[in-house]
Chains A and B, each alone.
Chain A
């Protein structure tokens, strides 16, 4: 048992506990933010020392390969951005600042484990660790909207967990093991095509589908995204979704590789419905958080094209899309946090003429919205090109056509916000102040969006190397 392989998670858990303990004795709560970020960086350093090797421990339950370390970096990066984006927010709540940060760190631990476990029981428990931390964070404001969002997320999440466990139980009952590798052996040696396996796969898709918010498990998204504190909404829309995709990739490629035809089609059909529904319902939204909620459903649809194209091209396309989506969506949400700090509203109508009194913020938000649409020279464009190409190579022409039509639809509501900000007369002339941490995080996000959009090859190469760990 090589405990060093678990060092990123152990160190981050230790820092989460440290944050809570320091919260008891320290008067200046601002320090807690730095401790949290130090913890995340420490964890990233440990993860970096593990890069390059492939090892398993705990009897194959913990898998440390390029794939899992890629996701560890992604989750740590997103968590750092979310903590930075929370600085203004945390100073506004009087109590529980330490708990807020600790829960962000603990949910990051859960996500990191989700990406690196090769066994169903561990996957389930790390999924719950992520989930429970996020339920609490969603209801953290304790106002009626936030509480309702937390409760909805908890109840629907519990149902999704039950469905997931049902699916896992069926797979276990059929194969007699919870280790993904052994499941693959059992599946290819006889259980192929049995109705129980199909049902198990369908239930697993449903359970994980809740995490990535694909149709028909997307009902929670708009309410939860609207009610949750905005940094947590950003966290949910990026990290939680990425964790869901990481688990799906790991489970389906490792365990159900031999039955690839069945589930690729499930994801293709669900993806097509998901992106269409997300985009169409996003159009009439007046609240920007709700709009981005539906937009994130649509983005999940595009991401699922990478699952539908059952090939290494599909996998690396999915990973590349996740990275560019992370930068883009985080940037958009951070800009929204900065703006709503001032105007105290999430209504798109209140963004009128924002470009006059907050030119840089508006520019950053516009850049992120353009990237979400998929217009060059941004990350979103390259990501879409790459994932559409993967689906095309796999012969899913119909899916690509639907996705392209959807991209055109989505331009309408994304660019409408840009129009409201830049072309309409401002309501007031007040400047929009923002904290240094927020500006720094927004800066990183925007640089990321542009760098990936202009020189994608470096990131593509990483994605291609990383998916080799999964095989196909």
Chain B
């Protein structure tokens, strides 16, 4: 019960801060709201017992990505004037609402694949590791491809960032 109340509070805060990100004209404040939004999502992960995911969310999104975004804003000029206005607010609103409507309808009407009984609350790190690295049924292949992906990204970043 307590978890459920916490979920609804966090969900409301998350949606509210996400709306603030898009509606705020000052890009720096929008970025700060985004950080808050990431935090509420980490909270939601905790309410469903995904402690590892919550930790990763805080480390990567709240920690690394937010810092990156804020740095990018600080290093880019012309932020004082705020974010440029959208030239197509009405079509964007219509399409956004249509997509939202479709998603809400789908989420409510679909018979989702639900795991029963609910897994016990507790540390999930070990279980995720076993699931990830099991040689027969784990996700070893995508894990290995991800390392090549990071290599390509690192090379690319160096090429693009270094002066000619």
Contacts and interface: CB of A to CB of B under 8 A. Distances in A.
Interface of A: 1, 13, 17, 20, 58-59, 61-62, 95-96, 99-100, 102-103, 106-107, 109-110, 113, 117, 119, 121-122, 124-126, 128-129, 132-133, 135-136, 139-140, 142, 150, 170, 173-176, 186, 190-191, 194-196, 199
B79 to A, nearest CB: 18
Given A125-B142, A195-B106, A103 B112 contact: no
Contacts of A17: 151
Given A106-B152, A196-B106, A95 B164 contact: yes
B109 interface: yes
Contacts of A99: 155, 158-159
Given A121-B142, A132-B152, A133-B152, A174 B159 contact: no
Contacts of A175: 113
B158 to A, nearest CB: 7
A106 B105 contact: no
A178 to B, nearest CB: 9
Interface in B149-164: 149, 151-153, 155-156, 158-160, 162, 164
B8 interface: no
Nearest to B164: A142
Nearest to A58: B141
Given A110-B145, A136-B152, 8 more contacts: A13-B148, A61-B141, A96-B159, A99-B155, A132-B153, A136-B156, A174-B110, A174-B113
A188 B110 CA distance: 16
B152 A103 contact: yes
Contacts, number: 105
A139 B160 contact: yes
Chain B: number of interface residues, binned into ranges? 20 to 34
A129 B155 CA distance: 12
For the complex of A and B, the 9 pairs showing the least CB-CB separation, nearest first, are A136-B156, A176-B113, A196-B110, A58-B141, A59-B137, A129-B149, A61-B141, A122-B142, A106-B152
A117 B141 contact: yes
A308 B160 CA distance: 40
B100 interface: no
Given A59-B136, A199-B106, A129 B152 contact: yes
Nearest to B110: A196
B138 A59 contact: yes
A129 B145 CA distance: 8
Contact of B145 (A125, A170, A190, A199): A125
A173 B112 contact: yes
A59 to B, nearest CB: 4
B56 interface: no
A128 B149 CA distance: 7
Interface in B117-164: 134-142, 145-146, 148-149, 151-153, 155-156, 158-160, 162, 164
Chief secondary structure at chain A's binding surface:
helix
A194 B111 contact: yes
A131 to B, nearest CB: 9
B75 interface: no
Contacts of B103: 199
Contacts of B142: 61, 119, 121-122, 124-125
B102 interface: yes
A187 to B, nearest CB: 11
A128 B156 CA distance: 13
A195 B148 contact: no
Nearest to B137: A59
Q: Which of B102, B111, B156 has the most CB of A within 10 A?
A: B156
14 contacts: A58-B141, A61-B139, A62-B141, A106-B151, A110-B148, A122-B142, A125-B149, A129-B148, A133-B152, A136-B152, A136-B156, A142-B164, A150-B160, A196-B112
A103 B156 contact: yes
A55 B141 CA distance: 15
Contacts of A61: 139-142
Nearest to A126: B145
Contacts of A58: 140-141
B115 interface: yes
A452 B148 CA distance: 36
A129 to B, nearest CB: 4
Nearest to A129: B149
B53 to A, nearest CB: 14
Contacts of B102: 199
A46 B83 CA distance: 52
B13 to A, nearest CB: 22
A219 to B, nearest CB: 14
Contacts of B146: 125
Q: Which of B110, B111, B152, B155 has the most CB of A within 10 A?
A: B152
Given A20-B155, A99-B155, A136 B113 contact: no
Q: Which of B109, B115, B159 has the most CB of A within 10 A?
A: B159
Contacts of A103: 152, 155-156, 159
A174 B141 CA distance: 23
Q: Which of B102, B103, B106, B146 has the most CB of A within 10 A?
A: B106
A428 to B, nearest CB: 31
